[in-house]
């Protein structure tokens, strides 16, 4: 293994830290201040260049209001595996979307919705629209034409 090449898992964990930090609207400087390192060190963590010790990862999780396990979860919330981690850390379309302005705005707004039923209805609506679009249905018409799967 090349010493200068970041480990795939370190890169993945770093990308999850960056995603969570951006989702909360927190700067690298602010995170660095909260965990007692320089912002350059946070950059290295997020790029997977430097490994993060367990106690530091716990502190990062606390500051980012999540659990350490969040940084190891894959898209389907299962534990992290090595399968597919040889890809660049930003090759995950979900992670890429969350780093866009649109992704951040959408997720910040969604997080402000306290009512679980409303959140579940929004998720069902988006899933139904995505399924309709992938089935070739043109979504330029009224949204009322889409059937929502309730209780999913």
pLDDT at 131: 85
What is the dihedral sign for C-alpha 83, 87, 89, 95?
negative
pLDDT at 139: 66
Is the domain of 72 the same as that of 13? yes
* pLDDT(87) > 70: no
Is the domain of 60 the same as that of 119? no
Is the domain of 25 the same as that of 79? yes
Is the domain of 27 the same as that of 61? yes
**Domain containing residue 146:** 113-152
Pick from 51-55, 70-74, 112-116, 122-126: least confident: 70-74
- What is the pLDDT of the chain when averaged over all its residues? 80
> What ranges in the chain are assigned the alpha helix state H?
8-23, 28-35, 39-47, 54-63, 93-98, 101-111, 116-134
Q: Which residues pair with 79 in a beta bridge?
A: 73
Nearest 5°: phi and psi at 79? Answer: -60, 150
What is the tens place of the pLDDT at every residue in 11-34? 889 989 998 998 888 999 999 999
Q: Quote the pTM value.
A: 0.58
Q: How far apart are CA 26 and CA 109, in angstroms?
A: 15
Share of the chain above pLDDT 90, in %: 36
Is the domain of 92 the same as that of 150? no
Is the domain of 107 the same as that of 123? no
Is the domain of 87 the same as that of 46? yes
CATH of the domain at 17: 1.10.260.40
Q: Which residues pair with 73 in a beta bridge?
A: 79
> Domains in the chain: how many in total?
2
> Which position has the higher pLDDT, 35 or 146?
35
Angle at 118 between CA 114 and CA 124, to 5 degrees: 135
Is the domain of 122 the same as that of 136? yes
Is the domain of 81 the same as that of 47? yes
Q: Give the containing element (helix H, strand E) for 114.
A: none
Share of the chain above pLDDT 70, in %: 75
């Amino acid at each position: 293994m090349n010493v200068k090449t970041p480990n795939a898992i370190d890169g993945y964990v770093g990308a999850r830290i960056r995603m969570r930090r951006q989702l909360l609207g927190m700067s690298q400087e602010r995170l660095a201040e909260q965990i007692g390192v320089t912002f350059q060190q946070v950059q290295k963590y997020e790029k997977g260049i430097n490994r993060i010790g367990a106690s530091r990862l716990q502190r990062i999780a606390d500051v980012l209001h999540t659990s350490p396990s969040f940084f190891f979860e894959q898209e389907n919330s299962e534990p992290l595996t090595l399968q597919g981690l040889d890809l660049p850390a930003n090759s995950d379309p979900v992670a890429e979307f969350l780093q866009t302005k649109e992704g951040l705005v959408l997720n910040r707004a969604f997080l402000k919705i306290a009512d679980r039923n409303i959140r579940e209805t929004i998720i069902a609506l988006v899933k139904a629209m995505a399924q309709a679009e992938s089935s070739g249905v043109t979504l330029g018409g009224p949204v009322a034409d889409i059937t929502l799967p309730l209780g999913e």
